[in-house]
Structures are given as structure tokens and as C-alpha cells.
Chain A
Amino acid sequence: MNEIGSVTRSWTTSELLTVMASRALHDGQIVFAGVGVPLLAATLAQRLHAPGLTILFEGGVIGPFIVPGDLPPSTNEQRCTRRANMVCPITDVLMLLQRGFVDVGFLGGAEIDRYGNINTSFIGDPDHPKTRLPGSGGGNDIASLAHVIVAMKHEKRRFVERVQFVTSPGYLEGGASRHEAGLLAGGPKVIITDLAELGFDPVTKRMRIEALHPGVSVEDVEAKTGFDLDLADPLRVTAPPTERELEMLRELDPDRLYIA
């Protein structure tokens, strides 16, 4: 339990991210999900408002249904295949992105910048990194070829003016630069954090606040962001997680592997 502003919260940061991310998914969509928050959000959506949502896993899985309490450790183990419609080679499941069958890809990241570029490769100079991060995985492919939802904790060190390394492209330098680089489809759509929902101006492609979570002010968000944010007009306030959403989520992850 913690408190922001006047609202007492009875959920963890990961639970808030997961619930908000699940609401951004719609029935009938095909969703490329990693494990952790993305998978829980997609499964929660399936159980609450999007029964016809299809999950894809990078390991080569089409349309699985996850068994509560039996969450996979990555997208590449047999737990990912429970009640799946199909398994196929990795290259072929990733090819569905390029072919255009995927509505939404889910990403996280160490760093994101004002144009939605994501870094999961290096902190510091890539030739002499302070920290070598695990790298792209399918992140670059998802970000290049699909509309992307990003779920991450809102911290100043993560929301930076310019990422140190573009692992997964957002709108690059803004404006038409993504298209000019040869990326003809997709792009970041929503950034969901523990404070707000952010989107992008349709022309400049600069990040802007679309909605604040209950009890959060614009100043709270600005204080934790390393660059100036634009504001959408009107600015919405999200509804807090409901009992039903939280109950269902905790049922999916009873060991609190990913929602602690």
C-alpha cells in the first residue's frame, strides 16, 4: 500500500501497470507479448473484456492460454505452449509481424526518449559500456513492424531526452523521420507507466501526457521525466483498478512472480 496525493492505493506498481495495459487491448486483436507484465495484461484482457484476443510468443507460439500459477519463465519454454493453437519456428512467428498480422506488440525497456525510441542494449558508451544490457531480442523487430504498447516504471533516469542507444526504433527524430528511415508501418502508440498514459503528437511525434492515473498531477509526472512533455487536450484521468481486475490478476500470478 502506498499513497500518492489524496488517493490511497491498494495495488503494487506492477499491478497498476498490468491493469492499465490490459485496458489498452481490445477483443479480436493479435498481440505479441513477452513474459511478465505484457503476458499478464494480455491474459487479463482475455478473461475480462477481450475473449477473442490472440497471444503470440516469440518462441514460436500462436494462441496459447496461460495456466494460472504456471507462468512461463520466458517465451521459449513449454509452459508457453499450453493450449496453443499452433507452434512454429521463431523466424515464422516473427514473420507475422513483417506480414502485418499483428495489431500490438508489447515492450519494456531500460530507457525511452521523447520520440519513443527504446534502449535495451547499453548504458554508457557502447564501446566501453557502464552496463551491457541483454539486447534486442525481438524488440527491434516488434518496434519496427507493429504498433507498440510500452509498459514501464516512470523514473527520471528511464525517461530521457535521447536514449544512449536506439535498440528498438520509435519515431526516431520525430516528424516523418521514422517513415523516411524505411519503417513504413507501426510505431509506438501508448506508454503506460505507474503515473500516467502517454502518447505521441500525430505530427511532431513528441511524447505527450494523454491521461493521469488517479491522484497524480502533471507536476508529479514532469518531476520524473527527463524532458518537457506536451499535454493532450483534453487530459483524461484513468479509472483506478477495480476489485475484479485485481482479483483476477492475483489469481493469474498467485506466487507474485511478476506482480510483486
Chain B
Amino acid sequence: MAQAKREGRALSGYEALRSETALRDRSLHEKVVSLEAAAALINDGDHVAIGGCMMSRTPMALLWALVRAGRRDLTFSRSIVSSDGDIVVASGIAKKVITSWFSQGIVWGISRVMRHWVESGTAEFEEWSHLAMGLRYRAAAMGLPFLPIRSLMGSDVQRRLSGETREMICPFTGEKLVLVPALRPDVAIIHVQRCDPYGNAQIDGLQFMDIDLPMAAKRVIVTTERIVSNSQIRRSPDRTKFPFFVVEAVAEVPYGSAPHECYGLYEPFFRHMDLFAKMTKEDPERGSRDYLQRFFYEPRSWNEVLQRIGMDDLLTATSGGRNVHDE
């Protein structure tokens, strides 16, 4: 980097990555903040990668705070989006969603909200294959500009992404490969079961792309069901899935993934998911406006959101969540 300066040339992508990383505060220090303060770390126009997948470990409380804060022009990326995708387009905080699959869930059919906002051209849905999303994050996590992949070829998914991917003939084998570019989010937001005040995050169960995401992103915000002590983390370091020094802020939010699930703690709130589908089915614009009003704008705290979703739904989800450990 210093050499680039001496030579009077612009930094290459990798030099820029190294110099940004070198400037990050990687010390072991406490970084616990409120949910609102965590949301304030995200700027208009940022590319925000959402941790978890589908209806699992979605950082819903942080999305709630972002919607309330009225962020604009955000690009979201995620392995697969469910109703979180609907919410970021319907609330107007997202201009683009980069993902492999976008709908509330198979049992509810094709999302009317996604259809309305994407078909009208208000929000963009950029489609990659699932493995391509994974390798894009992984390339960024590895500090590489791309990775080769053996899917995508011959498909219209690749054709429609023209300019985003490249084809190459492997110099070793002569085989054709597609190169997918590193996906480097400005911020990754990840919800976990446990995290200490320094950012050592422990994930139970399904990991999705959440090992690569925090390594790929420029900044990482963690929401956690529970903040635990550093000594508790040190008793089972094998369960820590990413290290404190990649994390910038930690917010404790019990039921922070509701109405989606958090492995071992609660299942999706199925009745509430039915309600969302029902409200948005006939008239997605009015339905999502009503839903956002009731569950995003009117409640002044995340606890109030949970109150509005209701104790019955919360306890049903909790009881199902604990079942995962049954024989």
C-alpha cells in the first residue's frame, strides 16, 4: 500500500482490502450496543448481507429497526430470502435484492409482495444460483476476487447476469469453468444464539453461509438471543463460528428472529406467517402497508412487536423449538 502511494498509482482491489482491514479495530474490547444504535451503524446505500437462510436465524429485529429508521437505497443479499425480502422491498428500504430464491415459503405459494414490487420494476431481484451465492461470499471471505464454479453454464440465469460472470478455459485441464465474482457486503447482519460482549459468536445447528459472511463483509453487526460471558465462550471454543475481531457491534435481542426460527429455541411462528401471507395475498400494497403499520411502525420496542404477535404464537414456537433435542 505504501508502495502504491510511492509509485503514485491507485490501489488494486486487494491492496484496498488489505489497507481497510489493517485499519479496523481488532482489539479485544466490549462492543455491546442497543438495537437502535446497531441500526444506526448502517448507512443509506449500503449493501447489507442478511445472515441465516429462509425462515431461520433471520436478524428480523435489526431489519425492524432499519425500517423504522427509514434507511434508503439499500441493497440486500442473502442465500435465500423469505418474508424478510418482502418486508425490505415493501417498506421501501431496499432497491435491490441479490439472492437465489425469493418467496415467503413453498407452503404459501409465490409471494404476492415480491411479485408486485419486482414486476412493477420498483425493486430489483438479481438471481444467482444458490451455490453461486455461496461461492461469491466464500471468495470474498478468502480474500480472492473470484472462484470457479461448474454450474450456471448453458443457463439463462448466467446469460441474464451477463457481464457479472466470466467463462474461462482451465489452464491445467482445458475444461470450461464459470468464474463468479467475490461478493463483498458493506455490512453483514447476523443473528446467533450466543455471543459475548467482544463479539465471539456461537451458532447452534444450521450454519448456512454464516461462517463466510462475516469474513466477506467490511463490517459485521451481531444480534444475539443472549449475551454470555467471555469465560463461558472459552469453555466451548469449538462452538464459536466467527471471532470477535471481525465484529463491530453486538446487540442482545431475545426472540430477535421472530416470526422466523432460531434453532433449538423457537420454530417459525407458523400462525403469524399465515397471517402475513393472508394479509398480503389480495392486495399486496395495502396488505403490506397494514402489516408494517401494525408490526413495524406502531410498536416502539421489539418487545412490543412480540406482544403484538402474541403470547400464544410465541409459546407454540418455543415449544416446537425445544423439540429439536427430543429423541
User: What residues of chain A have their CB less than 8 Å away from a CB belonging to chain B?
Assistant: 34-36, 58-61, 70, 73-82, 87-91, 94-95, 97-98, 121, 126, 129-141, 143-145, 165-169, 172, 177-178, 181-184, 257
Partner of B130 from the list A80, A87, A141, A183 (CB cut-off 8 Å) is: A141
- Beyond contacts A76-B54, A91-B134, A136-B130: 16 other A-B pairs, Cβ-Cβ < 8 A, are A73-B270, A81-B206, A88-B207, A89-B134, A90-B130, A98-B131, A132-B125, A133-B110, A134-B110, A135-B100, A136-B157, A138-B129, A140-B131, A144-B150, A144-B154, A168-B155
* Contact A89 B125, beta carbon cutoff 8 Å: no
Most buried by A among B131, B178, B261, B321: B131
B99 at the interface (CB under 8 A from A): yes
B232 at the interface (CB under 8 A from A): no
- Name the residue of chain A whose CB is nearest to the CB of B327: A83
Q: Is the interface on chain B under 10, 10 to 19, 20 to 34, or 35 or more residues?
A: 35 or more
* Contact B134 A182, beta carbon cutoff 8 Å: no
Per-residue CB contact flags for chain B residues 270-282 toward chain A (1 = under 8 Å, else 0) read 1000000000000
Per-residue CB contact flags for chain B residues 158-183 toward chain A (1 = under 8 Å, else 0) read 00100000010000000111100000
Per-residue CB contact flags for chain B residues 112-127 toward chain A (1 = under 8 Å, else 0) read 0011001100000101
* Contact A172 B154, beta carbon cutoff 8 Å: yes
* Contact B324 A82, beta carbon cutoff 8 Å: yes
**How long is the Cα–Cα vector from A76 to B267 in the complex, in angstroms?**
11
Residues of chain A lying within 8 A (CB to CB) of residue B99: 135
* Contact B130 A132, beta carbon cutoff 8 Å: no
* Contact B102 A135, beta carbon cutoff 8 Å: yes
B196 at the interface (CB under 8 A from A): no
B79 at the interface (CB under 8 A from A): yes
Residues of chain B lying within 8 A (CB to CB) of residue A58: 130
Residues of chain A lying within 8 A (CB to CB) of residue B53: 59, 76, 90
Residues of chain B lying within 8 A (CB to CB) of residue A79: 267, 324
Residues of chain B lying within 8 A (CB to CB) of residue A76: 53-56, 80, 206, 208
Residues of chain B lying within 8 A (CB to CB) of residue A137: 80, 100-101, 129-130
Partner of A182 from the list B154, B206, B321 (CB cut-off 8 Å) is: B154
- Name the residue of chain B whose CB is nearest to the CB of A117: B155
Partner of B208 from the list A59, A73, A95, A133 (CB cut-off 8 Å) is: A59
* Contact B129 A140, beta carbon cutoff 8 Å: yes
Q: Can you list 29 residue pairs at the A/B interface with Cβ under 8 Å?
A: A59-B54, A59-B208, A74-B106, A76-B80, A76-B208, A78-B261, A81-B205, A89-B211, A90-B79, A91-B138, A91-B209, A97-B151, A132-B119, A135-B99, A135-B125, A136-B101, A138-B131, A140-B129, A140-B132, A141-B131, A141-B132, A141-B151, A144-B151, A144-B153, A167-B157, A169-B154, A181-B154, A182-B154, A183-B154
* Contact B110 A136, beta carbon cutoff 8 Å: no
B264 at the interface (CB under 8 A from A): yes
* Contact A95 B125, beta carbon cutoff 8 Å: no
Residues of chain B lying within 8 A (CB to CB) of residue A177: 154
Given contacts A76-B53, A78-B261, A141-B131, contact A166 B118 (CB under 8 A): no
Residues of chain B lying within 8 A (CB to CB) of residue A88: 207
